[in-house]
Amino acid sequence: MHKRLARARDMLQQKGLDAVLVQSPVNRRYLSGFTGTAGTLLITDSKSILITDFRYTCQAERQCRDFMVTECREGLWDSLNSLVREYQVKKLGFEDDFFTYRQYIKMRENLEGIEPVPLGEELNILRAVKDREEMGIMRTAARISEKALEHVLPMIKPGVTEREISKELEVFMIRAGCTGPAFDFIVASGWRSAMPHGVAADKKIEYGDLVTIDFGGKYEGYCSDMTRTFVVGKCSQKQKEIYETVLAAQHAALEQIRATLRGCDADSTARSVIEKAGYGEYFGHGLGHGVGLEVHEAPVLGPKSETILEPGMTVTVEPGIYMEGFGGVRIEDLVVVTDNGVENLNNFPKELMVL
Interface residue list for ligand GLY (CB under 6 A): 183, 214, 225, 316, 318, 332
Q: Report the partner that residue 183 touches, choosing among ligand GLY, Mn ion, none (CB closer than 5 to 8 A by kind).
A: ligand GLY
Strand 68-71 with 48-52, pairing: parallel
d(CA 220, CA 177): 9
Do 92 and 114 contact (CB within 8 A), yes or no? yes
Q: Report the partner that residue 250 touches, choosing among ligand GLY, Mn ion, none (CB closer than 5 to 8 A by kind).
A: none
Shortest Å, Cβ 302 to ligand GLY: 12
Nearer to ligand GLY, 104 or 183 (CB): 183
Residue at 30: amino acid letter:
Y
Closest CA to 15 of 130, 128, 127, 126: 126
Nearer to ligand GLY, 50 or 165 (CB): 165
The torsion angles phi and psi of 3, rounded to 5 degrees, stand at: -65, -35
Nearer to ligand GLY, 119 or 334 (CB): 334
Shortest Å, Cβ 297 to Mn ion: 11
Nearer to Mn ion, 134 or 225 (CB): 225
Shortest Å, Cβ 44 to Mn ion: 36
First to last CA, the chain: 46
d(CA 29, CA 31): 6
Sheet with 48-52: strands ordered across: 68-71, 48-52, 40-44, 19-22, 91-94, 115-118
d(CA 272, CA 268): 6
Q: Report the partner that residue 140 touches, choosing among ligand GLY, Mn ion, none (CB closer than 5 to 8 A by kind).
A: none
Nearer to ligand GLY, 170 or 332 (CB): 332
* Contact flag: residue 225 with Mn ion (CB under 5 A): yes
* Contact flag: residue 224 with Mn ion (CB under 5 A): no
Shortest Å, Cβ 36 to ligand GLY: 27
Closest CA to 67 of 115, 96, 30: 30
Q: Report the partner that residue 224 touches, choosing among Mn ion, ligand GLY, none (CB closer than 5 to 8 A by kind).
A: none
Nearer to Mn ion, 93 or 288 (CB): 288
Residue at 354: amino acid letter:
V
Respond yes or no on whether the N-terminal peptide bond of residue 299 is cis (omega within 30° of 0): yes
Q: Report the partner that residue 294 touches, choosing among Mn ion, ligand GLY, none (CB closer than 5 to 8 A by kind).
A: none
Shortest Å, Cβ 330 to Mn ion: 8
Shortest Å, Cβ 225 to Mn ion: 4
Shortest Å, Cβ 282 to Mn ion: 18
Shortest Å, Cβ 225 to ligand GLY: 5
Q: What share of the chain is helix, strand, coil (3-state, %, to 5)?
A: 40, 25, 40
Shortest Å, Cβ 318 to Mn ion: 5
DSSP codes of every residue in 257-297: --TT-BHHHHHHHHHHHHHHTT-GGG--S-SEEE-SSSSSE
Q: Report the partner that residue 333 touches, choosing among Mn ion, ligand GLY, none (CB closer than 5 to 8 A by kind).
A: none
Q: Which of 145, 212, 316, 346 is in the footprint of Mn ion by CB under 5 A? A: 316
Local structure of residue 37 (DSSP, 8 states): S
* Contact flag: residue 297 with Mn ion (CB under 5 A): no
Nearer to ligand GLY, 18 or 333 (CB): 333
Indicate if the alpha-carbon torsion angle 237, 239, 242, 248 is positive or negative: negative
Q: Report the partner that residue 166 touches, choosing among ligand GLY, Mn ion, none (CB closer than 5 to 8 A by kind).
A: none
Nearer to ligand GLY, 72 or 148 (CB): 148
The torsion angles phi and psi of 19, rounded to 5 degrees, stand at: -165, 165
Residues that bind Mn ion in the complex, under the rule CB under 5 A: 214, 225, 316, 332
